Each structure stands twice: as structure tokens, then as C-alpha cells.
Amino acid sequence: MRANPLRILHVIGAMNRGGAETLVMNLYRSIDRSRIQFDFLVNELGTCDYDKEIDELGGKMFEVPRYNIANYPVYRRACQAFFSNHHHPVVHGHIGLPAPIYLSIARRHGAACIAHSHAQNYPLSPGELVFRIATHPTRRCADRFLACSVQAGLDRYGEEVVHSDRFHVLKNGIDIERSRFSEQARVSIRRELGVDLQTPLFGHVGRMTHIKNQTFLLEVFARILNTLPSAQLVLVGRGEDEADIRSRVAALGIGDHVQLLGVRDDVPAILSALDVFIFPSLKEGLANATVEAQASGARCLLSTGVPELARISPDTIFKPLDAGAEAWSAQAIDLYRHPADNRVSAALDARAAGFDIADSAAWLTDYYQMLIHT
């Protein structure tokens, strides 16, 4: 008779469609759930994008208050109460600010603790400085360290950790088959959007927040329209900057050419519909969306804020933001005019580059098992 699966606790803010959350769900769907089950300690229950699916997959969800430094005593007591009453042999932490608190408490209750970095350091600001100071003790609280790239590891944990055997890069794997280009999806999504197959379609997937730099994207697209006046732009995502983005669309007079689609559960289909994917982020750990876009065979224009590790296609262009909106628009137009010969094969390139979620899930299963036996 098969033993009960090993239950892993993921500590994460809220299970909405963000980069870290999507990676965890991709892993959860792909992992052998007869051997491994995921539970979640979150700051928000019952209203998030993935909550229902987690329940259907057999995961349990628990809640503690959202940490904001000022509520340190309250947060610490909540974590103490949780780990006193729930035992998970492995705790996998994804949120950085309170990591020294929950990881140290989990460790005292016998758990093996993993700290996972999903992003490189953001540009220095008062808030970022507080974050770096507050998270520095994580280097002493975790047993093992994962990151989506070496740079994301260096920025969060430093050279001593990254150059040790306690650190490993876990690429942001994707469902290769689901991400593969589909002509049927291309036709269907374009019909939904009211865009015919001859219309140049540009797109972006990302949280609507300063670091993703969508306002610059709008400046780029406004210039694209000077050359390709029938072009359309779709933005997938939501976030705190959505109102500002809508205002900027109106100010540029491009409202008839821009569609904000909100959060979608059919991103691979939307990527199949695109001709060119544009991602002008200021700074990224890796960015799942860039991997999925390349796997779909769309031509991709990425900022140099995205690490080179994200490259799948030799045709993907990495461009510095200081080149300016005019240069970006010219590059995007050139990519549109030189589409891939065979978009279907791009998914195989993603697998060859190590981004198959099935491989990541198999590796992580062995990693968890190793941790509880050391």
C-alpha cells in the first residue's frame, strides 16, 4: 500500500496569477501528487485566482495576517500558533519580507526550510533599502536556497550562499504542450478581440505595476502606429497602476488600438494570437511570461532588465530601455516584418533550454525527499 504523500508547506502572499504563484501552480499540476502534496500558508483566503484549483488538487490552505513590519508582534504570534499546531516536514518560503520570522519559527519546530528568490533587486529606494535590511537574516534562517537565476540568488542571499552546495537555480518551468503555438487558438482569440489575421497584433503579459514599465510600452506602441496604423496592442494583467495606464492610453489618443484584458486563464492562446511580444520591465528575476511567449513562437522584444537566462530563441531581442521609445518601436516593427518560419518548433526549443515544468517537478520531488533524509 502506498504511503501518504509528503506534505510541503508553501508560504506565499496570495494565490493570484503572479509570477511566483504561477510557477508554484505549474509545479503543483505536474508533480506526482501520490508522492508530494502542497499546502499553502497565505495572507488571503477565499478570493484568489488559484484557491479553487488548489482545493480540487487536494491542497490545504491556512491564513496568517499580512506582514507590514509595524505588526511584527501580531505576525510572529500568528506564525508561532500555526507552526505549534501544524507540522510540515518541509517549508518552502516564497515571500521575502517576513521570511526571517516564519522560517526561523518553522525551523525550531523541526521543518527543513527553503528560501526561494523569484526576483533580482529592484532599483534602490527607501522601501527597497528597508526590504534588503529586513530580509538579510534569511541567509541564516534557511537550510537551502533556490532562485530563478544566479543573479536573483546573489541579490537576495549573497555570494557565500550562492557559491555553496546549499544553493540551486530552479528555472521557471512552463507546460510545454500548453504553450505550443496553436493556429486554432490564434484564429479564435483574434475573432474574440475583433482583430483579423492580417492585423499586426502586439502584446504584453504582466502585473500592472511600476517595475513592469507598461507606460513606456504605450509610448513605444504610439510610435508603432505611425508606421503600422492598423496595429493593435493587448495587455494582460491587473495591478495597482491600471488606472494610470488607462489614463495614459487616453492621453496618447490610442484607445481604439489598445485592449486591456485583465487576468486571463488562457494566456498561451493569447500568445499564439500575437505577432510580437514586448516586455520592457525595469528588472526581473526571470519572468515566466517571457518564456511562454518565446515557446509560442511569437517574436519577442525584451528589456535588458530580463536576465539572459530567459533566452530561448536566438531571434529574441534584448534591448536597453535607454535606447528610447523610437528605437524600441523600430525594433518591434522589424520583428513583426520578420515572423518565424515555424512557430510550432519553438516549444521544443523551450524544452531543450530546460524550461519543461515536468523536468522541474521531477527534480523538486527528489529535492524535497533529500531534505527530509539529511
Q: What is the pLDDT of residue 282?
A: 93
Beta strands 112-117; 90-93: pairing state: parallel
Contact 161, 139 (CB under 8 A): yes
| Residues linked to residue 116 through DSSP beta bridges, in sequence order | 146
Q: 368 vs 6, 57, 115, 183, 273, CA distance in Å?
A: 9, 19, 13, 39, 38
Q: What is the pLDDT of residue 309?
A: 87
- The domains found in the chain, sorted by start residue, are 6-173+356-372 (3.40.50.2000), 178-352 (3.40.50.2000)
pLDDT along the chain (374 residues), means of 10: 82 90 94 96 88 96 95 97 97 94 97 91 69 85 94 91 96 92 98 97 95 97 98 96 97 98 94 98 88 97 93 95 98 96 94 94 96 85
Q: What is the pLDDT of residue 1?
A: 37
Q: What is the pLDDT of residue 59?
A: 97
Q: What is the pLDDT of residue 47?
A: 82
From the centroid of its chain, how far is CA 16?
11
Q: What is the pLDDT of residue 121?
A: 65
